[in-house]
Amino acid sequence: MMLIKILFISILLSISSLHAMNLEKDKRFGVEINPFYLLILSPGENDETVLSGTFSYFDHKNGAEIAIPLHQMKMGSEKYEQQTIDIHYRKFLNNQVGGFYLSGFARAARLEGKTTYEQEFNYAKQTKIGLGVGLGFRVFSSFGLYWGASLNLGRYLTNDNENFNIDAFTITDDAPYILDIEFFKFGYSF
């Protein structure tokens, strides 16, 4: 855990050297994590563990990014667990990799936990597929670090929603709508 905190502080100090430049053309891939979850929320009050990361392919020819975000949340006290995997197509507005972008995405979510329908302890599993749109931006440094922020809105294509009993103040994928706000994602391009 101490290593993660040192890494996070190093990333924050490196932000001072970030500036709105486009990604160098020899860098085609990127990985990013959300260290906020690791440092602040995991494990949280509800025995909550959250992991969030993304693998990206940068398409310099088309000024686009194909990103595959992964998200896992486990709430031990609530007996709830979810995993999501997305595929995002992000088109940068300046036709180069960097700056503002618009995106479209598809999401698959797997949910598992205590149901809301029964008084006794019943366990259910569910898989959902959704679609959405988003907007965001990327800021790259000359040595490969980058920071991204985005707002994504969507809807699941199923009417089978709000099945799980979750008392915690947490946004989950049990709702019919998708809302993702990313502000603390840091990455490295190579």
pLDDT tens digits, residue range 87-96?
999 999 999 9
> What's the maximum distance between 2 C-alpha atoms anywhere in the chain?
58
8-67 tens-digit pLDDT: 555 555 544 445 567 888 999 999 998 877 666 556 565 778 888 999 999 999 999 999
**The token pair that represents 183 in the structure block:** 């502000």
CA distance 74 to 76: 6
Maximum average pLDDT range among 14-23, 71-80, 125-134, 152-161: 125-134
pTM above 0.85, yes or no: no
With a CB cutoff of 8 Å and minimum separation 6, the contacts of 50 are 37, 41, 42, 44, 71, 72, 73, 74
Is the model's pLDDT at 1 over the cut of 60?
A: no
Task: Tell me: cis bond preceding 176? Omega within 30 of 0 counts.
Answer: no
> How many degrees, rounded to 5, is the angle at CA 64 between CA 60 and CA 67?
115
Check: CB of residue 160 under 8 Å from CB of residue 130: no
Is the model's pLDDT at 178 over the cut of 90?
A: yes
CA distance 131 to 153: 9
